[in-house]
Amino acid sequence: MEVMEKITQAIQSNPVILFMKGTPEFPQCGFSSRASQAISACGAEFAYVNVLAEPDVRENLHRYADWPTFPQLYIKGELVGGCDIIMELYENGELQKMIDEAS
């Protein structure tokens, strides 16, 4: 499967998906750690892709939504943003609403 198809399928198949460095249990960067903790704190089950273990995804994901950094959160197929946006949404309660609507 071509990498862009792989990315599209992952995003469309999961209501909430986080492209991150590492895993939620063992994040490999502080930003990925904070983002996955905020999503988990909302009580969400979410899919994730460890971009360190998927170099083709890591090299091409920025082309999918024109977002250059990791982590990247997608809810219902739409890019929400990276760590700073995720944390802002979490702190003001919007992330919880978005995740609840996606479930």
Binding annotation for glutathione: 21, 58, 70, 83-84
- Provide the β-strand partners of residue 47: 17
Identify the CA nearest to 65 among candidates 33, 14, 19, 15.
Answer: 19
- Report helix, strand or coil for 92: coil
Peptide bond preceding 71 in cis form (omega within 30 of 0): yes
Residue ranges of the annotated binding site are 21, 29, 58, 70, 83-84
What's the angle, vertex CA 82, arms to CA 61 and CA 92, rounded to 5? 150
Please state the residue numbers annotated as binding site for [2Fe-2S] cluster. Answer: 29
